[in-house]
Structure 1
Amino acid sequence: MNIVAITACPSGVAHTYMAAESLEQAAIARGWTIKVETQGALGAENEISADDVTQADAVILTTDIELNGTERFEGKKIIQTTVKRLVVNPSEALDAVEA
């Protein structure tokens, strides 16, 4: 499975990156490929390219704040969740991808 994701939290600091790391570790543990773009206080980092989107089976987006650039995922399976849920239980979002 090939996943792309965007994490962002209202303050754009710790939780954005904690969610990204938690999601990456859970995906890798399943043998999946994942690329997580963070939209935080420093702007967008590890940006998802058009090629990344084309290769993605699904997209995971956080809903805590409005994300930039979500129109690029049109036509893809999108799972929406919160930063807290990704930090606490990233497998929940990955299970939704498989469903």
Structure 2
Amino acid sequence: MKIVGVAACTVGIAHTYIAQEKLENAGKKAGYEIQVETQGTIGVENELSPEQINEADVVILAVDVKISGRERFEGKRIIQVPTEIAVKSPNKLIEKAAEVVAQA
């Protein structure tokens, strides 16, 4: 399974990057390919390519604010949660993503 995501918190500092790290670690631990873009105070980092988005089975948006480029995910299965969920329960979030893909 291939997962892409975006992490963005209200301040754009700590939670954005913690959510990214926790999601990537949980995804890899579960054996999935995962890339997470961050949208923080210094702008967009690890920007997802159109190919990565196109190939993704599911999109995880761990966001507390409006993100730029959300339209890139039109037509994809999207799970949107606050960054706090990605930080506190990344493994459960990855399991939920797998369930969403399995139901499709």
- Settle same-fold status: TM greater than 0.5: yes
Partner of 2:41: 41
Deviation at 1:95, TM superposition (A): 1.7
Show the 5 A alignment for 1:1-99.
Answer: 1-99=1-99
Q: What is the CA distance between 1:45 and its match in structure 2?
A: 0.2
Find runs of 4+ consecutive structure 1 residues off by over 6 angstroms.
none
Give me the whole-angstrom Cα distance separating, in 1, the residues matched to 2:25 and 2:62: 17
- Per the normalisation by structure 1, the TM-score is 0.96
8 A Cα contact 2:19 2:62, kept in partner: no
What's the RMSD between the two structures over aligned residues?
A: 0.8
Deviation at 1:86, TM superposition (A): 0.5
Q: Give me the identity figure in percent.
A: 45
* Structure 1, unpaired ranges of 5+: none
Partner AA of 1:75 in structure 2: G
- Return the offset for 1:65: 0.5
Structure 2 portions without partners, runs of 5+:
100-104
Paired with 2:53 and 2:75, the residues of 1 have a C-alpha distance of 10
Distance 1:63 1:4 in 2: 13
Q: Paired residues, what number?
A: 99
